[in-house]
Structure 1
Amino acid sequence: MARLWGAPEPPPSRLPSLPSLPSLPPRLSSRLLEHRWYIAGGAAALGTVIFLSSLRTAAKPRPIPSPKETVLPDLSPEEVKNLPYPPDALPGARDVDTPYGSIRVYEWGPEKGDRVLLIHGISTPSVALAGVANRLVRKGCRVMLFDLFGRGYSSTPSPKAYNYDSALYTTQILLCLQSSPLPWSSYIILGYSLGGAIAADFTSYFPHHIKGLVLVAPGGLIRREHISLSSKLLYSTSGLVPEWLIRKMVSGRLWTGPAVARTIEPEPDSGALPQDDDESVRSLKGHAGSLYSASSVSLLPPTSSQNRTASDVVDWQISNHAGFVPAFISSIRYAPTHEQQDRWKIIGQNMKDRYALPEKERAGLKEVWLVLGETDPIIIADELVEDAKNVLGRRFVKVKIIEGVGHDVAMVRPDEVARVVLKILGHKK
Structure 2
Amino acid sequence: MVSNPFQCLTLSLLIIPPILITTYLLAAFPHPPEPIFLHKSLASLPPDAKSWSIYPENYYPGGAYVSLPFGRMRYWLLGPEKGKKVVLIHGLSIPAIIWRDVAPQLASRGYRVLVYDLYGRGYSDAPQTTYDANLYTIQLALLMQHLRWDKAIIAGVSMGGGIATAFTAQFPHLVDDKVMLLACAGLMEASDISRTAKFMSSPLVQTVTASAPVRKYLQRLILKNSTSKATPPSTSAPVPVPEKKSDPITEIVRLQSAHLTGYNAALSSSLREGPIRGQAAAFASEGFDGEKGRAVLIIHGTKDNTVNPRYAPIILTLLPPVTRARSKLITLEGAGHDLTISHAEEVTRAMLDFLEGKQ
Change (3 A) 1:235 1:320: closer
CA RMSD of aligned residues (A): 3.2
Q: 1:193 & 1:235 partners in 2: Cα distance?
A: 18
Q: 1:420 & 1:177 partners in 2: Cα distance?
A: 25
Match of residue 124 from structure 1: 94
Secondary structure of the equivalent of 2:285? helix
Change (3 A) 1:376 1:256: farther
Deviation at 1:135, TM superposition (A): 0.5
Match of residue 217 from structure 1: 183
Correspondent of 2:295 among 367, 377, 401: 367
Deviations 1:294-333 (A, max 9, x none): xxxxxxxxxxxx9752101111212222211111111111
Change (3 A) 1:256 1:379: farther
Match of residue 76 from structure 2: 106
Q: 2:357 & 2:123 partners in 1: Cα distance?
A: 34
Correspondent of 1:335 among 268, 274, 290: 274
Deviations 1:253-284 (A, max 9, x none): 9x9979xxxxxxxxxxxxxxxxxxxxxxxxxx
Correspondent of 1:315 among 254, 260, 279: 254
Match of residue 5 from structure 2: none
Q: 1:64 & 1:82 partners in 2: Cα distance?
A: 18
Deviations 1:50-73 (A, max 9, x none): 9x84xx54x4442112131x21xx
Q: What is the letter of the counterpart of residue 110 of structure 1?
A: P
Superposed, 1:12-411 pairs within 5 Å as: 53=31, 56-57=32-33, 59-68=34-43, 70-71=44-45, 74-75=46-47, 83-158=53-128, 162-180=129-147, 183-208=148-173, 209-236=175-202, 241-245=204-208, 309-347=248-286, 350-351=288-289, 354=291, 362=292, 365-381=293-309, 383-392=310-319, 393=321, 394-411=324-341
Secondary structure of the equivalent of 1:322? coil
Q: 2:246 & 2:82 partners in 1: Cα distance?
A: 33
Q: What is the letter of the counterpart of residue 96 of structure 2?
A: S
Deviations 1:148-203 (A, max 9, x none): 00110100111xxx2101111111001211222xx422321110111111011101
Change (3 A) 1:81 1:65: closer
Q: Answer yes or no: is 1:421 the counterpart of 2:348.
A: no
Check conservation: 2:132, 2:275, Cα contact below 8 A.
yes
Secondary structure of the equivalent of 1:179? helix
Secondary structure of the equivalent of 1:102? strand
Check conservation: 1:224, 1:339, Cα contact below 8 A.
no
Q: TM-score, normalised by structure 1?
A: 0.64
Q: Identity over aligned residues, as a percent? A: 30
Q: 1:323 & 1:343 partners in 2: Cα distance?
A: 28
Change (3 A) 1:242 1:124: closer
Q: 2:353 & 2:172 partners in 1: Cα distance?
A: 20
Secondary structure of the equivalent of 2:37? coil
Secondary structure of the equivalent of 1:75? coil
Change (3 A) 1:185 1:345: same
Structure 2: gaps of 5 or more residues: 1-27, 224-244
Change (3 A) 1:423 1:257: farther
Secondary structure of the equivalent of 2:347? helix
Q: What is the letter of the counterpart of residue 112 of structure 1?
A: K
Secondary structure of the equivalent of 2:177? strand
Q: 1:108 & 1:179 partners in 2: Cα distance?
A: 16
Change (3 A) 1:144 1:243: same
Q: 1:403 & 1:257 partners in 2: Cα distance?
A: 34
Secondary structure of the equivalent of 2:185? coil
Q: 2:196 & 2:247 partners in 1: Cα distance?
A: 32
Q: TM-score, normalised by structure 2?
A: 0.75
Q: 1:228 & 1:366 partners in 2: Cα distance?
A: 34
Change (3 A) 1:91 1:337: same
Q: What is the letter of the counterpart of residue 121 of structure 2?
A: R
Structure 1: gaps of 5 or more residues: 1-48, 259-305, 355-361
Q: 2:271 & 2:39 partners in 1: Cα distance?
A: 19
Secondary structure of the equivalent of 2:188? coil
